[in-house]
């Protein structure tokens, strides 16, 4: 009777070497408009541009909760660059895709650490045969 060898006992099947970030939809027009009109963190940049975003305290207010509903957490990811001279939006910055990419990288790193840990154990303690 052949013995089964299990070299990667402690890995989790949910971890994947090919983890990809989840696609993130761009912020809605309502979120961008809310950030532009109600954003409380305003930083004057060079060339007459202003960076506008929400602070976490502002997002927790009832006014923002009524206005945005479920999208209020998403509003924390959005920064609007506003041109004062032209009175127009220059750029909308969104960090949600970056956060999704970091989550995939963390999952990949966890897989690598688990595999390395199991490989180290295998080298110091040879795998034991399991009776079938």
What's the mean pLDDT when you consider all of the chain? 76
pTM for the whole structure: 0.62
The predicted-structure confidence for 62-106, as pLDDT tens digits, reads as follows 999 999 988 888 899 899 999 988 999 999 998 887 776 665 566
The predicted-structure confidence for 118-132, as pLDDT tens digits, reads as follows 666 555 555 565 555
In terms of Cα–Cα distance, which of 110, 96, 125 is closest to 11? 110
Sign of the torsion angle spanned by Cα atoms 125, 126, 131, 132 = positive
């Amino acid at each position: 009777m052949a013995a089964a060898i299990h070299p990667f006992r402690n890995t989790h099947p949910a971890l994947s070497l090919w983890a990809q970030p989840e696609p993130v939809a761009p912020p809605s027009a309502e979120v961008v408009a809310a950030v532009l009109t109600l954003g409380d963190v305003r930083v004057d940049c060079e060339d007459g541009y202003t960076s506008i975003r929400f602070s976490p305290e502002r997002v927790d207010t009832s006014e923002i909760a009524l206005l945005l509903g479920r999208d209020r957490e998403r509003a924390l990811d959005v920064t609007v660059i506003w041109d004062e001279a032209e009175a127009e939006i220059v750029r909308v910055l969104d960090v949600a895709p970056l956060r999704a990419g970091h989550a995939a990288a963390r999952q990949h790193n966890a897989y690598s650490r688990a595999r390395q840990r199991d490989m180290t154990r295998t080298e110091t303690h040879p795998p034991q045969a399991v009776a079938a």
